Amino acid sequence: MNIPYKTRQLYPDELRFLKALATKKSKERFDKIKFYHFVIAGFLAIALTCVAIITNIGFLRFLFGTIAVFAYGFIILAPFEIYKARRKNKSFVNDLSKFVDKGTVDTYLINAKRIAVAEEHEDEGDLFIIELDTYKVLYLWDYDYNLRKKFPCLDFEIYEEKFFKVTGRQVYPLSAPVKAMVIDKKSKWNYMRKIGAPGHLETQIINFDDLMADYNSCV
């Protein structure tokens, strides 16, 4: 779906959240592995290599040789993994800072009439079916289970994908939570096996009640 996002100013609570998250991430340390760990791994690798070479027992040669390989691997790979983690964290903090500095975010305003939820059957996530109009529904997947606190509600904003990826927040509620219509898990699974799973943020021209009847008929 080509979502018609609109740019708006960040709300005060969003700014506080972004700043707090950026501060928390910027303070993360990646020095749990000390220099002496590499020294110990080096001595261990050399010692076990020597033992593996001089021993005549095949099992012990294999055991000590394998441990030595892991020790060498730690010495070689650990610095690279620390570098990747630091670089990823720095990029994450920079993305947060960009939103704070810009002071705006792109959102899509939703004023729903009704909402149904089809809870996950296995591990596919919850599916929210949102009635936008008499013959129009929106599908909203909750893959990461981050919509369960203040959602569903009838009035909310959907964040742009980049904001969602950085913060983990997919929607901004604008009204009180409502009780959604519940679709049986098995009915949802059978319906998707028959018709196919809708895409995230996909819209469909269909009557909401007819769609609910189609799902519930797939018991």
Q: Do 97 and 114 belong to one domain?
A: no
Helix (H) / strand (E) element for 22: namely helix 12-26
* Greater model confidence, 215 or 131: 131
Residue 105 has pLDDT above 80, yes or no: yes
**What is the model's pTM?**
0.74
pLDDT at 125: 78
Q: Do 143 and 197 belong to one domain?
A: yes
Kindly report the average pLDDT of the chain as a whole number. Answer: 86
Domain boundary among 76, 102, 128: 102
Considering the domain boundaries, does residue 194 fall inside one? Answer: yes
Q: Do 98 and 112 belong to one domain?
A: no
Could you tell me which of 69, 64, 74 has the C-alpha nearest to residue 40? 74
Average pLDDT, integer, range 77-86 = 82
Amino acid at 53: I
For residue 81, how many C-alpha atoms fall within 13 Å in the half-sphere facing its CB?
A: 9
* Greater model confidence, 174 or 185: 174
- Cis bond upstream, residue 12 (ω within 30): no
Considering the domain boundaries, does residue 8 fall inside one? Answer: no
Range of the domain at 194: 106-216
pLDDT at 15: 93
pLDDT in tens, 45-58: 888 888 888 877 77
Considering the domain boundaries, does residue 130 fall inside one? Answer: yes
In sequence order, the 6+-apart residues with CB closer than 8 A to the CB of 17 are 167, 169
Amino acid at 123: D
Residue 1 has pLDDT above 70, yes or no: no
Average pLDDT, integer, range 38-45 = 84
Residue 99 has pLDDT above 80, yes or no: yes
Considering the domain boundaries, does residue 212 fall inside one? Answer: yes
Average pLDDT, integer, range 66-89 = 84
pLDDT at 31: 67
Domain count, the chain: 2
pLDDT at 30: 67
Per-residue tokens: 42: 């080096």
pLDDT in tens, 115-171: 999 887 777 778 999 999 989 999 999 887 777 677 889 999 999 999 998 888 899
DSSP, collapsed to helix, strand or coil, labels residue 142 as strand
CA distance 108 to 12: 19
pLDDT tier at 38 (50, 70, 90 boundaries)?
A: confident
Considering the domain boundaries, does residue 25 fall inside one? Answer: no
**Ramachandran bin of 157, using left for φ above 0, alpha for ψ from -120 to 50, beta for the remaining angles:** beta
pLDDT tier at 14 (50, 70, 90 boundaries)?
A: very high
